[in-house]
Structure 1
Amino acid sequence: MAGTGKVGVGIIGAGVISTQYLDNLTRFPDVQVHAIGDLFPEAAKARAEQYGIAEHGAPDVVLNHPDIEIVVNLTIPAAHVEVATQAVNSGKHVWSEKPFSMDRPSGQELLALAAAKGIRLGCAPDTFLGAGLQTARRMLERGDIGEPQSALTLMQSPGPESWHPNPAFLFQEGAGPLFDIGPYYLTALVQFFGSIARVGAFGSRSRLTRTIGSGPKAGEEFDVTVPTHVSAIAEFASGQTSQSIWSFDSFSGRPPLIEITGTEGVLSVPDPNMFDGEIGIRTRDDEDWRTVPSVGSTDSRGAGVLEMARAIRADRPHRAPGEQAFHVVDAMTAITESIDQKRFVDLESSVAPIPPLPEDWDPTAETL
């Protein structure tokens, strides 16, 4: 049943990113945050007090809450599938932080379980619902640069260990620049071009250990177990191609980039890790780049949870489904396999087209 009224939400995971979600979810009128849980109940208590959430404690506080319809899974990557599975078995819809899963088998099992129980799965990133990428998508579909042919994406940084108080997990299995940053770029490319057919990639590590730069653990070293520089190419089922670099080894200071080349021009797309940003376009008739303002919502993380909540009430598909997130995991897994095996790797999955948002979509409007 679609139900009526506000959609009840619960948070599992009270870490750094929970603040970005709660800043929005506690003010969006169509959802209500009833509880927050964490393996460390004192962390959940602190967040509950910070945001005025009624109930807090261990994860079971969320899983067993009768008024919670969507569990927002903000645990570490290695726990995403386990926590999502518990929520599905508790009869809750699930929104997970990315990545959807650490590998193909666990992701496929989660999708199958949810389908069998009639449960929805959603997954970050939801930045593609923001004004920047939605405007770019409308421009592409309108033919502003002709027929899209290829994309170039770049994300080059020295890594998050200088500012993140507990960054070790970002350099281990399920993270690194590929799994931590790659989903933003790959999701945007899938939104623009459709399903990825095959990939080829190279990867490297500049250092085997890194040092925490801030917080109570500053000065502590930790091991780096995944590539910190990834260079990948992809071929899409529709025929387009992309070239990407995602790196935690660069001090270039270059801003993130997605550039799409078409038969009649080039489109410079805003940072896919953000919800807003200006769009640049240069066509064969332009002497220089032109700037196009973004149109749409600029609200940050939590927009995907809200869009999913409204879709539940309207009994329609939501726009950030688990199938899309799994396709991105499939792509990242294939990239990892390509690095290890030094060959092109075909993807096992595909994803159905997802309609863009209306230009006037407003997360802050009360619609339920």
Structure 2
Amino acid sequence: MGEPHGVGVVGLGVILDAYLTTLAEHPGIRIAAVADLDASRAEAVAARLPGTRASTVDELLAADDVETVLDLTTPGAHAQVALACAASGVNHYGEKPLAATLDDARAVVDAAQRAGVRLGCAPDTVLGTGVQTARAVVDAGLVGQPTGAVATWVSPGHEAWHPNPDFYYLPGGGPLLDMGPYYLTSLVHLLGPVVAVTGSAGRLRDTRTIASGPRAGEVIPVGVATHVAGTLEHADGAISTVTVSFDAAGTRARPIEVYGTEGAVAVPDPNTFGGEVELLTRGGTAWETVAPRAGFVDSSRGVGLLEMVGAAGLGGAPAEARASGAVGLHVMEVMTGLLESAVSGRRTTITSAPARPALVPLTPSGTWRLS
């Protein structure tokens, strides 16, 4: 293989280590530089990674050995970093959501297209064997004609565990923009793009109290909807319902179930890469576990970046990444549409229409790790 692909990381918070599990020792990747608003944090991370230097964002973007930026900043900074990448001719792969607002997400996609750079967007959890095996079941016709799906995620709120949860309750946050991308992106992979949505949204409290860390007991404001429910109309006729909440103690509902004329498939947690897929066929009395038949095996965050740059063992870089900016924009429009519908009381039409991402073939970890 050729020289490792040079990556610069911007934003070195809680999620960083999950990405380093995939990227730090991958032979096709070299983490050339890291940057953070806290310069001491950048120095500490660089010291952990042989051959990596701490830098400012401007220095990182100007560096000859940085081909792709991994953007792990908070949602409010995603558009700023992505637009700077496009202006510098550097690829951008970022955490979800693509941007904090739909207008910013559109601007990011337009800038990347004009600059001719690649644009990827989490979540890449949907590329693991969990969602991809369920997708293969649907594609094989084992549930017949898909008629719909139900997706559910609820919790009491991230302030229960996160030491700095402020951004979860600011524009770009909330349960929909934080956790919704896992579920909505999965539904796009499973059932294709969405053409219209209808939503309802509420907020039970105007403040939250941090429960852990040095700021425990501090009260923070809530500026977003904290319970959202909605209906998605897919282009092929299936209808999905979605509920996401920071206002509930818990649920026994499966994360996602897809229903069809001849069966149903239970999809594992889309915030993970694996998990059991179960199939119930028409007339059957028991759910049966489906062995992994598609997706990256034992993968972790960062595999979407690998796939985007052609380092995931599937051949060269694809024409369109599976964890793409186009899908990220579509999911952002769906989420914005749900919130707009909740305010207007009317059905919202979705104008973006990305191609349904290609199925990931069953890819052993030894392949995508290139070890």
Q: Structure 2 length as normaliser, TM-score? A: 0.94
Shift of residue 294 of structure 1? Answer: 2.7
Alpha-carbon distance change, 175 to 163 in structure 1, aligned in 2, over 3 angstroms: same
Residue 172 (structure 1) shift:
1.3
Check conservation: 2:254, 2:266, Cα contact below 8 A: no
Residue 239 and residue 175 in structure 1: after superposition, are their counterparts in 2 closer, same or farther (change >3 A)?
A: same
- Other structure's SS at 1:36 match: strand
1:180 counterpart residue number: 178
RMSD: 1.7
Which residue of structure 1 lines up, in the alignment, with residue 118 of structure 2? Answer: 120
CA-CA distance at 1:196 after TM superposition = 0.5
For residues 360 and 306 of structure 1, the distance between their equivalents in structure 2, rounded to whole angstroms, comes to 13
- Structure 1 residue 268 displacement after superposition: 0.3
Partner of 1:337: 340
Partners of 2:94 and 2:51 in 1: CA distance: 20
Evaluate the alpha carbon distance shift between residue 51 and residue 23 of structure 1 in structure 2; reply closer, same or farther with a 3 A threshold: farther
* Distance (whole Å) between structure 1 residues aligned to residue 56 and residue 317 of structure 2: 31
Report the Cα offset of residue 241 of structure 1.
0.4
- Counterpart-to-counterpart distance in 1, 2:311 and 2:116: 14
Q: Which amino acid aligns with 1:330?
A: E
Among candidates 37, 45, 53, match of residue 35 of structure 2 = 37
Residue in structure 2 matched with residue 299 of structure 1 by the alignment: 299
Task: Work out which of the residue numbers 103, 106, 115 in structure 2 matches 1:105.
Answer: 103
Measured in 2, the distance between the counterparts of 1:67 and 1:188 equals 34
C-alpha distance after superposition, 1:106-157 (max 9, x if no partner): 2222212211111110000001110111111111100111111100011011
Retained in 2: the 8 A contact 1:231–1:244? yes
What is the one-letter code of the residue matched to 1:227? A
- Describe how 1:87-98 pairs up with structure 2 within 5 A: 87-98=85-96
Distance 2:311 2:328 in 1: 17
- Secondary structure of 1:314's aligned partner: coil
Gaps of 5+ in 2: none
Alignment of 1:139-158 (within 5 A): 139-158=137-156
Quick one: which amino acid aligns to residue 326 of structure 1?
A: L
- Corresponding residue for 2:323? 320
Secondary structure of 1:201's partner? Answer: strand
CA distance in 2: counterparts of 1:131 and 1:51, whole angstroms: 29
Residues in 1 aligned to 2:363 and 2:55: alpha-carbon distance in whole angstroms: 38
Counterpart contact for 1:323–1:351, Cα < 8 Å: yes
* Equivalent in 187, 190, 197 of residue 189 of structure 1: 187
Match of 1:62 among 41, 60, 63: 60
**1:346 to partner: Cα distance:** 0.5
Shift of 1:334: 0.5
The corresponding residue for 1:355 is 358
Query: What is the Cα deviation at residue 253 of structure 1?
Result: 4.5
The answer (yes or no) to whether the contact 1:132–1:294 under 8 Å persists in 2 is yes
Residue 254 of structure 1 deviates from its aligned partner by 3.0
Moved more, 43-52 or 218-227: 43-52
Which residue does the alignment assign to 1:269?
A: 267
Report how far residue 180 of structure 1 moved. 0.2
- 2 CA distance for matches of 1:94 and 1:239? 33
Q: Distance in 2 between matches of 1:28 and 1:278?
A: 27
Q: Relative to structure 1, is the Cα distance of residues 253 and 105 closer, same or farther in structure 2, using a 3 angstrom cutoff? A: closer
Letter in 2 for 1:73: D
User: Could you tell me whether the CA contact under 8 Å between 1:156 and 1:254 is conserved in 2?
Assistant: no
Q: 1:201 aligns with which of 180, 199, 222?
A: 199
CA distance in structure 2 between the aligned counterparts of 1:297 and 1:266, rounded to whole angstroms: 23
Instruction: State the secondary structure of the residue aligned to 1:218.
Output: coil
SS at 2:108 equivalent:
helix
SS of equivalent to 2:32: strand
Aligned residues: 364
| Structure-1 residue corresponding to 2:81 | 83
1:144–1:271 CA distance, 2 compared to 1 (3 A) = same
Q: After the TM superposition, which of the residue ranges 290-299 and 112-121 deviates more from structure 2?
A: 290-299
Identify if the C-alpha distance between structure 1 residues 331 and 117 changes in structure 2 by more than 3 Å, giving closer, same or farther: same
Q: Which residue matches 2:18?
A: 20
For structure 1, the residue ranges without an aligned partner over 5 or more in a row are none
Using the TM superposition, give the Cα deviation of residue 63 of structure 1 relative to its aligned residue in structure 2, in angstroms: 1.0
Cα separation, 1, equivalents of 2:175 and 2:254 = 13
Query: Whole-Å Cα distance in 1 between the matches of residues 251 and 187 of structure 2?
Result: 23
Give the structure 2 partner of residue 170 of structure 1: 168
Describe the SS at the equivalent of 1:71: strand
Check conservation: 2:292, 2:362, Cα contact below 8 A.
no
Work out the CA distance in 1 between the residues paired with 2:45 and 2:14.
Answer: 10
Deviations 1:322-352 (CA, angstroms, capped at 9, x unpaired) = 1110000010111110111111100121101
Alpha-carbon distance, 1:357 to partner: 1.3
Cα offsets for 1:194-237 (capped at 9, x unmatched): 11011011111121111111111111110111111101111011
Letter matched to residue 318 of structure 2 = R
Deviation at 1:316, TM superposition (A): 2.7
